[in-house]
Amino acid sequence: MSRQRIDFEASGLSRKERRQGRRARANDHYDAEPTRARRRDQALPEPAVPGPFGPGLTEGGYWNLAPVNVPPHQATSQHVAGIYPFVADAGLGHRGPILGVDLNADALWHFSPWETYADSTDRGSFSTNVLVLGAYRAGKSAVIKTLVTRSMAFGHQAVVPSDPKGEWRAVAEAIPGGNVIRLGGAFDTRLNPLDRGPRRTGVTNEQHELMVKQRRITVLTSLVQAALPGASLTAVEHAALLEALDRCIVHTDDQPTLRGVFAELTQLTTETNRDRHLAHGAIQPSFVLRRFVNGDLSGLFEDESTVNFDDDAPIVVVDTSELFARGDLVAQLSQICTTAWNQAVISDRGAHKTRYVIREEGWRDMTSLASLQMYQQWLKLSRHYGISNIVILHKMGDLDAVGEADSQERNLAYSIAGDIENKFIFRINQQEATSIQQRLAVPPAHADMARQLRRGEFLAYVGQYSYLVDAFATSTPWEYELFKTDDAMDLDPGRAGELQYFEPTDLDAVWPADTDVDGWLTSSKELK
């Protein structure tokens, strides 16, 4: 290793003084140099051939004084790109909120579905929707809450049409201006899925009326068909449902409700003299809507809405956690109603607002062929409305609850999930590795990696590129405490299973008076 020496001289010295100073420093330098050690002192073996070079010049000995001539490595640019300094990826850039740390590039990872859609390079994507997949306690909900909350600083809003676990309610209450709508339990809140909704910007009267009518028809058919598992509406039943809707619109001055449609269906069943086939077709739908009026779904969706959608709120959450105690079918029907009620507001393209639509338990929106078709259409139109649908699943097997094996419904559900271009894959179970390879075309190496991810880490597929992201690396204590969903699993500190010691006063209280240890054991044995 080379050494360098820097000397400083005072200003104003004469030439003679400078010469004397240099001579003194030179003498100090020579005196400080260590004496050269002899070969014997260095414990080096004597050369077999006398001379300064020894045998190293011909036999490669280590005391060879000739320099080693190593030829430079030559390779193609494709192979040189595999060297470590060139492995670090450029990432998605710095547009959008920070979601975590890119573990491959060791850099902050920014993500915004609208920014990636607007990106015209090969880093961009063709969709704003995101599929989130991962096992329980993998950190899915916390990461999505982080993304949604940080995106609000960029002007984006969020809507949760159905919060089955009540975990988004705390987030909405912690954000200034957040709106929470609670259904079921002790709350008398009602949502009318047949509401007209606000007028869409930039459309004619005829276009607006047609869109309102189509939305109402889709909601009614989805509700009835979801309540008839394994069956579909016949042409006569569909015609009876439309006839009842038209009559209700006329009789209620364009303010139809499920109660009003049920009353018109009941009236149709008695009009056998006018149209016997139509009367017969109204029987099945009337029994389904009867559940909303007098059955297990009463008090939620049968009458006019008692709350309004706050269009300016940064986040709107419909808390349906109280409804899930009534069964899966009730939860599915409720999710259809709340989704339709929200879509009446957020589908206004002219408002120029961008919103996340978080679909917790996303498979519940795919309960029937009609709801699947509506779901697919809604995903395709998300770019048109400025919406990013975030579909959260625990595993691809969740879609096995949709329809029968190899049915049209199940194949369509798998097709919808596979068509979502942006994917966040968290830690998966052993049996899920094969499924994501087949259903989502995930490479086998990535599937093996997904089985070993820690909490908060995920594989992000955005467009044609993939990234390994650690979202919890940038989480703040405020976010961590607000977003965690394991509060119910926290152990009581007083009952944590630690060894408890008795104080002498407490021990005297339980120890029998005037009894030694032998006497206590004897008496206890006799009592047994």
List pLDDT tens digits, range 376-411: 777 777 777 788 989 888 888 777 767 677 777 788
Q: What is the pTM of this model?
A: 0.69
Asked if residue 261 lies in contact with residue 291, where contact means CB atoms within 8 angstroms, the answer is no
Report the pLDDT value the prediction gives residue 262, as an integer from 0 to 100: 92
Task: Report the C-alpha gap between 284 and 301 in whole angstroms.
Answer: 19
pLDDT in tens, 474-502: 888 888 888 876 554 444 545 444 555 55
pLDDT in tens, 227-279: 776 667 888 988 999 999 999 999 998 889 999 999 999 999 988 888 888 88
Asked if residue 318 lies in contact with residue 338, where contact means CB atoms within 8 angstroms, the answer is yes
Report the pLDDT value the prediction gives residue 231, as an integer from 0 to 100: 65
512 Cβ partners below 8 Å, 6+ apart? 519, 520, 523
**Whether pLDDT at 110 is above 90:** yes
pLDDT in tens, 185-221: 777 788 888 888 776 666 788 887 888 888 888 888 8
- CA dihedral sign of residues 290, 296, 298, 301: negative
Report the pLDDT value the prediction gives residue 463, as an integer from 0 to 100: 85
- Number of H helices and E strands in the chain, helices first, is 20, 11
What is the band of 453 on the pLDDT scale with cuts at 50, 70, 90? very high
Asked if residue 115 lies in contact with residue 95, where contact means CB atoms within 8 angstroms, the answer is yes
* Tokens linked to 356: 């996340």
**Whether pLDDT at 137 is above 80:** yes
* Tokens linked to 34: 């260590």
Least confident of 101-110, 458-467, 507-516: 507-516
Residue 493 one-letter amino acid:
P
